[in-house]
Amino acid sequence: MSTVELSHESPESAVAAPILLGPWALMWRKFKRHRLAYVSLWLVGFVYLLALFGNFFAPEAHDETNRRGIFVPPQGIHFFHDAGQGAQFVLHADALRMKVDQSTMRRSYEVREGEIVPLGFFVRGHEYELLGLWKVDRHFFGPKDPEDVVYFFGSDRLGRDILSRIIIGTQISMSIGLVGVAVSLIIGVSLGGISGYYGGWIDNVIQRIIEFLRSIPTIPLWMGLAAAIPLGWPPLRTYFIVTLIVSMIGWTSLAREVRGKFLSLRNEDFITAARLDGLSDWEVIRKHMVPSFSSHIIASLTLAVPLMILAETSLSFLGIGLQPPIVSWGTLLKEAQNIRTIIEAPWLLVAPGSMIVFAVLALNFLGDGLRDAADPHAN
Amino acid sequence: MIQFLYRRILYMIPTVFLVSVVTFAIIQLPPGDYLDTLAAELADSGGLDEGTRQALADQYGLGQPMWIQYLKWMRGILFHWDFGISFEKNVPVNDLIWDRLGWTFGISVLTLLFIWMTALPIGIYSAVKKYSVGDYVATFLGFIGLAVPNFLLALVMMYVAFKYFGQSVGGLVSPEYLDQPWSWAKFVDLLKHIWMPIVVVGTSGAAALIRIMRANLLDELYRPYVVTARAKGMSEFQLLLRYPVRVALNPFISTIGWILPTLVSGEIIVAVVMNLPTTGPLLLRALLVQDMYLAGSLILIVSLLTVLGTLISDLLLAWIDPRIRYQ
């Protein structure tokens, strides 16, 4: 009986509320079903948030050196402390004292018994400009006393806090990915579009150039270009040039994809119809062709961002990309260039390295999810 | 086939010409030249006096316009097999590069073999056992392989090898074998070292190829011809290898075209980290001190050999798949 009743009701409600969703809403729906990609979207958002409010999240000033905190191993966060009247809940880290073995000149750190460094949220620390607008001295998390220093991810050879440097480095590394992608988008879409829309000899020339760029190993060429950057240049200009070099890597594949899309769309009925209606070339491209493959382009762009991040890191690591006063994940890893340093201070490699892998993985999953969602033929 | 070969080789000529021009333009880019680097280095010990500087500039032809320098360089290469001289070491480039180029390409080719040997079985397995635990593990490892930059993987592996296996790291042979002639013991020692750069450079390529193989094979596995073969009672394993895998194998050969350049690129970075006796460290050093003929020759030859490798892969593909020949 109950099944009969159900079948009575359901068609009515379905008719009463027909679901009308636009292509973007459909895409979003499909995207949300892709768990890993959906989680990655939040993770990527979180990383960009870190970049945007870098100084707020960084517990220390990223360039502050400390002679008594050289190569401090990562310090843990402890929850309970016994100050004589039983264990109490206090967020704290151990207070450390540096010890130098005079015969071997090796540094080591020992815990100072009975002393702790209390930690807290929204604590006072060094002053900075939030979003370049307001002078603030609050930090998300860190030691309650501004005089104390805690190295959650360890410190480097000058006693600088690795965690803060990674967070500040996020700004450069992640933005190079975005700016680089924007540049390759412009080159790739315009050249790919021209190539695919007009065909003929223009297509031939552009395709030969792309083939040429893809057939040679690019790293030596980009190494040559990057090595040509004079060391004395101001950081901003170096940053700009490195971004340009990095974007050279991505545009060829993008141009190919755009060309392919243009070629397949060119002969579709709705494009012919639009042209017969008297629309100019530019209008056909802008109003009909670009919207039909923009979702696909967004997905490819997302997949290009990690490639650029990796390229920047590699160049900076070799010492021919960004140079040290600029903090990026690549310049941080440069500190861990030889095996002796890594053995003495593995966190110099592990901390920035995991951050890169984390960001690149999240961006890859996100791009994969977007690509699946953008493909109308995938089920 | 002959015509295809002929056309393909004809296409190579403008590519090679472009490579040489671009290479030369890039090595000329940095402001100043090697003499500036030299002058800066000699600044402590009295500096480079104007007379010596002029003599050196004349000797190396540094004062001339760029295109004349280019033509001279090209003429030397084409007619005398002379790639110029290395400023820094003051010996002909020829004496410096060939051993290192041999290692670079040896490692790249071995890496390619490694990629095939791992990607083929893993790709087939992931496609046949879709959504199994093994498939997920392979997919996950594939993503990690794509996400970890080569040099980082190299550093991590060196650290692990040193810390937990006590192996000497860096270089292709242990220090004690460095200046010795080849012997069985040295060869064994080489094998103990060479796998590391191969695995490091090959991981990302293998990861990419596993994904391609899996996707292609999935397209083929449910085709009617597979069902027909199964209905006729063919054993599953034989069926798999004889039909769908053979069709899905095409990209393995066609990808040489883009995998080879990335392998060579990757090898160069990894070589710097692992201090291998290949082109990487030499090129980096040459670029940094503006030793332009050395840097230029390395970039030029590495690019040329890669273009040649791509040509071979195209010919192989045309030989295997007749459809491509007539396009």
What region does B233 belong to: left with phi over 0, alpha with psi -120 to 50, or beta?
A: left
CB contact under 8 A, B261 and A228: no
pLDDT of amino acid B307: 78
Among candidate residues B99, B87, B101, B105, the one with its CA nearest the CA of residue B294: B87
- So what's the pLDDT on residue A2? 44
Whole-angstrom CA distances from A224 to A228, A318, B277, B308 are 6, 12, 20, 22
What are the beta bridge partners of residue A142? A120
pLDDT on residue B170: 65
For residues A155 and A325, give the distance between their C-alpha atoms in angstroms, rounded to a whole number.
17
> Residue A169: is its pLDDT beyond 60?
yes
State the ipTM, two decimals. Answer: 0.74
pLDDT digits (tens, 9 = 90+) for A20-75: 777 777 778 777 777 788 888 898 888 888 888 877 777 777 777 777 777 777 77
Q: How far is A240 from chain B (nearest CA, A)?
A: 17
With an 8 Å Cβ cutoff, is A220 touching chain B?
A: yes
> Across the interface, do B159 and A227 touch by the CB < 8 Å criterion?
no
Question: Would you say residue B33 has pLDDT above 70?
Answer: no
Q: Nearest residue on chain B to A210, judged by CA atoms?
A: B15
A113-142: per-residue pLDDT in tens? 767 777 777 777 777 777 777 777 777 777
- Our CA-based measurement puts residue A215 at a distance from the nearest CA of chain B, in whole angstroms, of 6
Closest residue in chain A to residue B275, using alpha carbons only: A338
pLDDT tens per residue across span B3-32: 777 877 887 788 788 888 888 887 777 666
pLDDT of A236 = 76
Pick the residue from chain B with its C-alpha nearest to A253. B258
For residues B195 and B184, give the distance between their C-alpha atoms in angstroms, rounded to a whole number: 17
User: What average pLDDT does range A346-355 have in this prediction?
Assistant: 84
A238-292 residue pLDDT tens:
788 888 877 776 777 778 777 777 777 777 888 888 888 888 888 887 788 777 7
For residue range B115-131, list pLDDT tens digits in order.
888 888 888 888 888 77
Query: Which residue among B18, B147, B284 sits closest to A357, beta carbon to beta carbon?
Result: B147
Cα separation of B248 and B243, whole Å? 9
Residue of A208, A220, A227 lying closest to B268 (CB–CB): A220
The pLDDT tens digits for B155-209 are 888 888 877 776 666 667 776 666 667 777 777 777 777 888 888 888 888 888 8
CB contact under 8 A, A317 and B151: yes
The C-alpha of B233 sits at a distance from chain A's nearest C-alpha, in angstroms, of 31
List the single residue in B with minimal CA-CA distance to A249: B262
Chain B CB within 8 Å of residue A214 CB: yes
Q: Which residues of A touch B29 (CB under 8 A)?
A: 224-225, 228
Asked if the Cβ–Cβ distance from A343 to B163 is below 8 Å, we say: yes
Burial pattern A227-245, b for ≥16 Cβ within 10 A else e, equals bbbeeeeeeeebbebbbeb
Q: Which of A219, A333, A353 sits opposite B269 (nearest CB)?
A: A219
Average pLDDT, chain A: 77
Q: Residues of A with CB below 8 A from B260's CB?
A: 217
C-alpha dihedral sign at B133, B137, B143, B144: positive
- Any idea which of A54-63, A255-264, B44-53, B215-224 has the lowest mean pLDDT? B44-53
Q: Which of A212, A339, A364 sits opposite B162 (nearest CB)?
A: A339
Q: What is the mean pLDDT of residues A309-325?
A: 80
The runs of H, that is alpha helices, within B65-149 are 66-80, 93-128, 133-147
Q: In the beta sheet, which residues pair with residue A80?
A: A89
A364–B310: do the CB atoms touch at under 8 Å? no
Q: Give the residue among A301, A209, A318 at the shortest CA–CA distance from B266.
A: A318
pLDDT value of residue A5: 47
Tell whether the model's pLDDT for residue A186 goes beyond 70.
Answer: yes
Q: Kindly report the nearest CA distance between residue B38 and chain A, in angstroms.
A: 16
Nearest to B162 among A225, A333, A343 (CB): A343
Identify the top-confidence range among A7-16, A259-268, B107-116: B107-116
